Structure 1
Amino acid sequence: MKGCLTVILLLLLIALFINYTFFTIGMALAIWGIYEWKINKNLGAKSKKPAIILSIGLILALGSCVGNDDVTTEKEVAVKQEAGKVPNDESKKEKDKKQEEKKDDDKQVKETVNEEQSKSTAATGENQNTEQKESNTEAQKQAQLSSLIKKFGLQAAVVARVVDGDTFELSDGRKVRLIGVNTPESTTRTEEYGKEASNYTKSKLEGKRVYLQKDVSETDRYGRLLRIVWLSVPTDDMNENEIRSKMFNADLVINGYAEPSTYPPDVKYADYFRKFAREAREANRGLWAYGEYGTTKGDFDPKETEKKSSNSSTNRSSGSSSSSNAKSSSGSSVTSSSSGSTEYFKNCTELRKVYPNGVPADHPAYQPRLDRDKDNYACER
């Protein structure tokens, strides 16, 4: 048992010596001094040595404790500082990281904004360029249009009312008669296909903007403007394709609503109108479905000179006898000159008794007062 305690005490002393070297040495010296003091006391000897050894041991032990406390305190402070430093460093790193991230975000946002601004600026510039190009293109078109209108002597106008197939009234009140064509009558008298022609003209012109072109004559005997009518401005007013697609006079003939009817000096498009009429007649289109001469007067009617040569003698002789009979029976006056070159009838009723289909302008019985529609054919049915 004593041996075990000795071993434990020895191990304790070794541990103390390792961890507290100066304290252990001091305590050993103090114990030694006490031991010497007891020996001297037992011997009755007086010596200062035990007191000196004890004092040195106590001083060394106490001094080591104070030193250890200082060291411990310094270590604790260092540890605490180190421990505080680590979080501070981590906090600083985190803060720096956040700042970097914020800088990156700000940079990205700025780049995005700049990019959007660049795109917006580019888009605005592109739109402006496009608008400028469109504006320039439109200006060029208008300039070209004005040039063509001036070149071909066109006049823009609005059609207010259609009278019949070949006559209409403008918004300013002036009346226009189409040049070079003749549609069947549909007003004071009605010819076959007249209503159809009138309705077609209404559908194409009424309320529309058109372009009027003069040939030679300004007006007819009734004060109506004599005009070619273009539905849109041509690029070449003598090009057949342009005439077919853009001129309304030609449109009427092509579709069989009118016959070509040429009155010099307005003959600029006469050949085209006759060509288009032949095509329509061959196809039995429109008024040509009623016969090879159509339903109204035109360039393709039998020559009056032929009719006159074949019927002249018969007509004149029968005219004289009929005139006498008419005068005696109805009191109407029919006279003829001694040479027989002229005939006179009181009205169309009397004239038709002799000439049932009326007479042309070169006939001896023709009188302007009997030609109410002023088409150079008197009393026609």
Structure 2
Amino acid sequence: MKYFYLLIALLFISFSTACTSAEQTTESNDSVETNEEAQENNNEEAEEEAKAEAEEKAAEEKAIEEQKAKEEAAKKEKEHLQALGLEAVTVARVIDGDTIELSDGRKVRLIGVNTPESTNRTEDYGKEASNYTQSKLEGKQVWIQKDVSEADRYDRILRLVWLAIPTNDMDETEIRDKMFNADLVINGYAEPSTYPPDVKYSEHFVQFAREARENSTGLWAYGPEGTTKGDLDTGNSSNTTSSSKETSNNDSSTSTTGGSGKEYYKNCTELRKVYPDGVASDHPAYASKHDRDKDDWACER
């Protein structure tokens, strides 16, 4: 009997030991799993951090590249503007169809074109031309371009106005689409009006005006003479490009009568060779035939 109880005790001890060992094993396994999960979480966090750092670095590099590209584009544009002689300006107000004032106070007379008068005196289609220029230019940024002359006798700078920067400023398509001087002529708001030496685009303007006149566009609806003075007026050849290039060995550009001191010029082209800004009515070279707008100043620009 004593041995029986001893056996029972041994079995109980063995069972207890086995249970304890099993519990320890379970706890150990649980601990390992917990460590593995923690490690996995750490790895995922590390990967996310690395990914975030890589994305941030890529974004910074992209921003740097974009900034470099912008600076390079700005540099190329500046060089292009300088090559074409273009100046970026803002139009503060429109004075009339062919005269504007810039935000810096400078007044600009558009060269190569003449719109009907709408300020001190009024010509047919003058208000329409002025309103059109206002709708297209006032408050806008444009690019002005000098031909040869700097300013007229009224201290207005003489310029071409571009609505957009041309790639090639002598390309006819770009002239039609981007130059406002041409736009005025194409749409019948202005007549071509050439005053040497500013003749860079005069042939284009005359061509555009002929097209507009054939279609009775704008001011040309009033008749083949339009409503203001210009290169296409009947009998007017003094201001066209071709006549400005003519020379004659048989005709003297000027002559002076003996006693009166009066100077005679056959046209404004010849007169401006001596008096670039024209002459007043009390000047010896004044002739009424050269004062087409009857303002007591002949052959003004």
Flag the structure with larger Rg.
1
Instruction: Tell whether the 8 Å contact from 1:176 to 1:226 is kept in structure 2 after alignment.
Output: yes
Q: Counterpart in 1 of 2:275?
A: none
SS at match of 1:133: helix
Q: Deviations over 1:174-218 (max 9, x none)?
A: 211001011111111222221121111112211222222111111
Q: Counterpart in 2 of 1:43?
A: none
Q: Counterpart in 1 of 2:268?
A: none
Name the CA shift for 1:264/1:82 in 2 (closer, same or farther; >3 Å).
same
Q: Where does structure 2 lack aligned partners over 5 or more consecutive residues?
A: 239-259, 265-284
Q: Counterpart in 2 of 1:176?
A: 108
The separation in 1 between residues aligned to 2:199 and 2:86, in whole angstroms, is: 17
SS at match of 1:158: strand
1:373 offset after TM fit, Å? Answer: 8.7
1:268 aligns with 2:200: yes
Count of residues in correspondence between the two structures = 257
Q: Counterpart in 1 of 2:228?
A: 296
1:248 aligns with 2:171: no
Q: Counterpart in 1 of 2:84?
A: 152
Match of 2:150 among 206, 211, 218: 218
Q: Counterpart in 1 of 2:129?
A: 197
Q: Counterpart in 1 of 2:295?
A: 372
SS at match of 2:160: strand
1:134 aligns with 2:66: yes
1:164 offset after TM fit, Å? Answer: 0.3
Q: Counterpart in 2 of 1:283?
A: 215
More displaced stretch, 244-253 vs 139-148: 244-253
Aligned positions of 1:74-153 closer than 5 A: 74-153=6-85
Q: Counterpart in 1 of 2:272?
A: none
SS at match of 1:299: coil
The separation in 2 between residues aligned to 1:112 and 1:94, in whole angstroms, is: 27
Name the CA shift for 1:282/1:367 in 2 (closer, same or farther; >3 Å).
closer
Q: Counterpart in 2 of 1:257?
A: 189
Name the CA shift for 1:149/1:284 in 2 (closer, same or farther; >3 Å).
same
Q: Where does structure 1 lack aligned partners over 5 or more consecutive residues?
A: 1-67, 307-336, 342-361
Aligned residues with identical type, % of pairs? 49
SS at match of 2:90: strand
The separation in 1 between residues aligned to 2:293 and 2:222, in whole angstroms, is: 27
Instruction: Tell whether the 8 Å contact from 1:145 to 1:233 is kept in structure 2 after alignment.
Output: no
SS at match of 1:163: strand
Amino acid at match of 2:294: D
Amino acid at match of 2:149: S
The separation in 1 between residues aligned to 2:119 and 2:150, in whole angstroms, is: 24
Instruction: Tell whether the 8 Å contact from 1:148 to 1:234 is kept in structure 2 after alignment.
Output: no
Match of 2:161 among 213, 229, 234: 229
The separation in 2 between residues aligned to 1:247 and 1:238, in whole angstroms, is: 11
1:107 offset after TM fit, Å? Answer: 2.4
Taking structure 2 as the reference length, the TM-score comes to 0.76
1:85 offset after TM fit, Å? Answer: 2.7
Amino acid at match of 1:80: F
Name the CA shift for 1:290/1:76 in 2 (closer, same or farther; >3 Å).
farther
Amino acid at match of 2:59: N
The separation in 2 between residues aligned to 1:281 and 1:266, in whole angstroms, is: 23
Name the CA shift for 1:182/1:83 in 2 (closer, same or farther; >3 Å).
same
SS at match of 2:24: helix
Q: Deviations over 1:246-265 (max 9, x none)?
A: 22111212222211111111
1:294 offset after TM fit, Å? Answer: 2.0
RCO comparison, higher one (Cα < 8 Å, 6+): 2
Instruction: Tell whether the 8 Å contact from 2:191 to 2:230 is kept in structure 1 after alignment.
Output: yes
Instruction: Tell whether the 8 Å contact from 2:225 to 2:232 is kept in structure 1 after alignment.
Output: yes
Instruction: Tell whether the 8 Å contact from 1:148 to 1:233 is kept in structure 2 after alignment.
Output: no
Between Structure 1 and Structure 2, which shows a larger proportion of strand residues? 2
Amino acid at match of 1:215: D
Between Structure 1 and Structure 2, which shows a larger proportion of helix residues? 1
Q: Deviations over 1:350-378 (max 9, x none)?
A: xxxxxxxxxxxx9954586983395849x
The separation in 2 between residues aligned to 1:175 and 1:88, in whole angstroms, is: 103
Q: Counterpart in 1 of 2:250?
A: none
Amino acid at match of 2:223: G
Instruction: Tell whether the 8 Å contact from 2:163 to 2:180 is kept in structure 1 after alignment.
Output: yes
Amino acid at match of 2:100: F
SS at match of 1:202: helix
Instruction: Tell whether the 8 Å contact from 2:95 to 2:130 is kept in structure 1 after alignment.
Output: yes
SS at match of 1:176: strand
SS at match of 1:162: strand
Amino acid at match of 1:157: V
Q: Deviations over 1:81-135 (max 9, x none)?
A: 2322333233223222322322232122122212212321222122122212211
SS at match of 2:132: helix
SS at match of 1:184: coil
